[in-house]
Amino acid sequence: MPEVNSSDILKKLKANELSNVYYIYGKDILTVEGITKAVLKKTLGKNWNNDCTKIEGKNIDISSLIDIMEISPMFSDFNAILINDLNAEELSADKVQQLIDAIENLPDQTVLIINITGFDVKNGKRFFLSLIHISEPTRQAEI
């Protein structure tokens, strides 16, 4: 998984180069939120705020998330899912593996955005390091 900065993501969005997975984190919360919004706008268009499925990482149900990942979009080209503050360190090893497997098999029409605004990602390495091994279409951004 290539590590890119916020300007790299914005350049790729302008060039219509979308990825299926974005893992956006950093110390500047406003930039994390801005990049997240830019990805959603590019993915879903002007109705991005209504057409996006939003999930709080603290209350995540992995089985439901997997079902949502497989939904075909009706009014846009993509099924966009935003997970805010997913702390994989609080999940069981089985749940983390289920999530990683689901991300590896993400349908082409689904864009998964995980943004971290409430804690330091690099203090919890398990999920972060696991995502690094997922295939090329995945992008992560440290802001």
| pLDDT tens for each residue of 33-56 | 999 999 999 999 888 888 899 999
Q: Which residues of 8-43 are buried (b: 16+ CB within 10 A; e: fewer)?
A: ebbebbeeeebbbbbbbbbeeeeebeebbebbbebb
CA distances 115 to 30, 72, 75, 77, 94, Å, are 11, 23, 24, 22, 22
pLDDT of residue 74: 83
Confidence class for position 82, pLDDT limits 50, 70, 90: very high
The 10 Å Cβ neighbour count of residue 75 is 9
Confidence class for position 141, pLDDT limits 50, 70, 90: very low
Residue 130 CB burial class (10 angstroms; 0-12, 13-18, ≥19): middle
pTM: 0.83
- Nearest C-alpha neighbor of 49 from the set 72, 26, 33: 33
Give the pLDDT mean for 68-95: 90
CA distances 46 to 3, 22, 41, 66, 137, Å, are 28, 20, 6, 26, 24
Looking at the predicted structure, is the pLDDT value of residue 8 above 90?
no
pLDDT of residue 55: 95
**pLDDT digit string (tens) for 14-30?**
999 888 999 888 778 88
**pLDDT digit string (tens) for 114-136?**
998 877 666 544 444 444 434 34
